[in-house]
Structure 1
């Protein structure tokens, strides 16, 4: 099982997102954890590698199981730890090694192309307090098959 972290960085009414070239979907910057790395260390490191920015005081806001399922069988599975931050320093990379970086209006995020499950956790993080847990089950072509969130 892979372990992945990401961070939603908000600066007033904007959020920094990364558009991945493979699907054109927008994501919170992040990536795979390295051995012996804590989830927080991973989120800070991955964010810096993909954006050039240093995060301060990121807070864990979501823990998710993501399953890729084909004909009722899990063919891939990973854990996603989503952080949230509002404090940062540094200079934004002019070009990220992972895709196109852009500050997006918070109110516009719900209209951006992204994995359907991502819309659920962005909504929670922008509009509710506390930690959210969830399981997202996708088909191999990333169609959301089921979603179970706590709190709903």
Structure 2
């Protein structure tokens, strides 16, 4: 099972996101853990490599299982550990090796192109409390089949 981390950097009511060129989807900077790293070390390293920023005291915000299913069978599965940072040092890269970096106003994020699971955990990073736990089931082309989240996201009903 692959382990990946990401880190949502939030400052002055803006969130730093990375647009991946393959799908044009916006994501929180992150990537695969290296052997022997803690999840916090991985999130900090990945954020620095992709943005140029060294996050200070990132806090764990979510733990998710991502399952890829095809014809009712699991073909891939990984764990995602999401962190939130509100302070950093360094200078933002003019161009990330992984795509385009942009600070977005927090209230603009909901309409951005991204995986449905990413929408859920970004919403939690921005507005939730505590750590969210969840599982997202996708098709191989990342269409969300179903999900379970704890705590369940707030609804606007």
| TM-score where L is the length of structure 2 | 0.96
Displaced runs of 4+ in structure 1, greater than 2 A? none
The equivalent residue for 2:56 is 56
CA apart distance, 1:127: 1.2
**SS of match in other structure, 2:104:** strand
Q: Distance in 2 between matches of 1:57 and 1:35?
A: 22
1:75, CA displacement in angstroms? 0.4
Residue 128 of structure 1 and its aligned partner are, at CA, apart by: 1.7
Once residues 144 and 44 of structure 2 are traced to their aligned partners in structure 1, the CA distance between those partners, rounded to angstroms, is 28
Supply the distance in 2 between the matched residues of 1:121 and 1:87 (Cα, whole angstroms): 20
Query: d(CA) in 2 for partners of 1:48 and 1:102?
Result: 15
Runs of at least 5 residues in structure 1 that lack an aligned partner in the other structure: none
Query: Which consecutive residues of structure 2, in runs of 5 or more, have no partner in the other structure?
Result: 153-157
Q: d(CA) in 2 for partners of 1:68 and 1:84?
A: 25
Q: Deviations over 1:82-131 (max 9, x none)?
A: 00010001011111100000001100111000001111111112112100
What are the within-5 Å matches in structure 2 for residues 87-126 of structure 1? 87-126=87-126
Cα distance in 1 for partners of 2:121, 2:29 equals 14
- What pairs with 1:39-78 in structure 2 (closer than 5 Å)? 39-78=39-78
C-alpha distance in 2 between matches for 1:96 and 1:125? 22
Q: Does 1:37 align with 2:37?
A: yes
When the two structures are aligned, how many residues end up with a matched partner? 152
Match of 2:17 in 1: 17
Name the structure 1 match of 2:155: none
In the superposition, the TM-score normalised over structure 1's length comes to 0.99
